[in-house]
A and B are shown apart, each in its own frame.
Chain A
Amino acid sequence: GQNIDQPTEMTATEGAIVQINCTYQTSGFNGLFWYQQHAGEAPTFLSYNVLDGLEEKGRFSSFLSRSKGYSYLLLKELQMKDSASYLCVLNTGGFKTIFGAGTRLFVKA
């Protein structure tokens, strides 16, 4: 079967760094997405990891370890607008994706 685990909620301070972890179990794996979803809005793409290692894109970085079934999203220099849900999403083959429930991040001043 397939399973995705990520914390339900996290709180961090403006200007700080936060790491959102995701562990998964799956029989098929092509890659792992991170999406951002603001309350009441649609998810938007942040990153996609296929190989082990760190992918950096501005303030956001995503890490993948395929052997450990583990990924994290790192957000630097937090801003108030980063308050949102962050969805860990498995690409299990071709177009097939499995969405995690998401981690709600609250950024406080």
Chain B
Amino acid sequence: NAGVTQTPKFRILKIGQSMTLQCAQDMNHNYMYWYRQDPGMGLKLIYYSVGAGITDKGEVPNGYNVSRSTTEDFPLRLELAAPSQTSVYFCASSYSNPTAASYNEQFFGPGTRLTVL
């Protein structure tokens, strides 16, 4: 199993450009997540998905969009890149039995380091 894969690893964008960060998992996980991590800060949830066709906003969704057409793929779209979006982006997935004490360890991809100039 490849686990969670992300492409690209690094990217430099100019202000106003758009791009899609790719994320795929081969563990048949139903939950997938996008986070951003700024230096010295905790991971912030951008968007999440509980299954194909279902997505919802996390803590910091502005400036981003997602789609989930298959169980495996969860791309993140930046439409008009801004310097504030310079960050490291992590995609993660988990399989959760939705009970109150569910154990849902998240498996992370290697990250995409994005710089917007």
Chain A residues proximal to chain B, CB less than 8 Å: 4, 8, 30-31, 33, 41-45, 48, 50, 87, 91, 93-95, 97-102
Contact = CB atoms under 8 A, between A and B. Distances in A.
A48 B105 contact: yes
Contact of A42 (B100, B102, B111): B111
B104 interface: yes
B40 A101 contact: yes
Given A94-B98, A94-B102, A95-B50, A42 B42 contact: no
Contacts of A30: 100-102
Contacts, number: 57
Contacts of B108: 42-44
Interface string B69-98: 000000000000000000000100010101
Contact of B31 (A44, A95, A101): A95
Nearest to A51: B101
**Among A4, A8, A31, which residue has the most Cβ atoms of chain B within 10 A?**
A31
A50 to B, nearest CB: 5
A41 B110 contact: yes
Contact of A97 (B50, B90, B106): B106
A48 B50 CA distance: 21
Contacts of A41: 110-111
A16 B95 CA distance: 36
Given A43-B108, A99-B43, 19 more contacts: A4-B42, A8-B40, A30-B101, A33-B105, A41-B110, A42-B110, A42-B111, A43-B43, A43-B90, A44-B108, A87-B42, A94-B102, A95-B31, A95-B50, A95-B102, A97-B45, A97-B106, A99-B35, A101-B42
A95 B48 contact: yes
Nearest to A40: B111
A100 B41 CA distance: 8
B30 to A, nearest CB: 9
A33 to B, nearest CB: 7
